[in-house]
Amino acid sequence: MARLPSKDAVILEIDFAALRRAGLIAMLANSKTAQEAEYKQFIANTEFDYTQDLDLALVSFAQGKEEQAAAPLYAVLSVGPGWDWTTLIGNYSDASVYTGQLRKLEAFVKAHPKSAKAPFVLAYHYLSQGQGEAAIKPLENVVALEPNDKVSALLLGKLQPASVATPAQAAPAQP
């Protein structure tokens, strides 16, 4: 009985056959990083697991839990890059399913302009697709709503041309 989840727990049904067909199980099993002693110690010390956090973010995104996907993505992007397009879309047997989920996220962002989490998730998906220019506006929204968000500011800085500066950066104050 001690191993049963509490009444507040979320129970997910996972189709491992679908994960195998998509190549996800093989990718995780063959990950060199996951087998390194240093990485295993890092997980033990911090409870942060890059792969699990990306999986959690994708599951949350797929379930339409846009804002819940932000925290694990933020953790991942604060230490390194997320998935590239090939890896991300490889989790889907049909790209139209992903496209439908992305359109729902775009609609959620538009309908919730005070949310900083959803545009962060949207920017991540655009970046994963290689659509850096499309990620700029969502990241600008995040930085405007959360000025202390260093990860979003860093991503935005990498996407904006060096000649683009905010008014405060553009010219020093005149005496």
Evaluate whether residue 10 is within a structural domain. no
- CATH at residue 77: 1.25.40.10
Evaluate whether residue 7 is within a structural domain. no
Evaluate whether residue 22 is within a structural domain. no
Evaluate whether residue 45 is within a structural domain. no
CA–CA separation, 173 and 175 (whole Å):
7
What's the chain's length in residues? 175
Q: What band does 20 get if pLDDT is binned at 50, 70 and 90?
A: low
Evaluate whether residue 8 is within a structural domain. no
Evaluate whether residue 13 is within a structural domain. no
Tokens of 34: 């996951």
How many domains, in total, are found in the chain? 1
Which residues, 6+ apart, have CB-to-CB distance to 11 below 8 Å?
5
Segment 21-55, tens digit of pLDDT: 665 545 554 455 445 566 556 556 655 555 666 76
Segment 72-92, tens digit of pLDDT: 777 777 777 788 888 888 888
Evaluate whether residue 94 is within a structural domain. yes
Q: The pTM is what? A: 0.64
- pLDDT above 70 covers a percentage of the chain that reads 60
- Asked if residues 115 and 67 have their Cβ atoms less than 8 Å apart, the reply is yes
Evaluate whether residue 62 is within a structural domain. yes
CA–CA separation, 11 and 65 (whole Å):
15
CA–CA separation, 41 and 45 (whole Å):
6
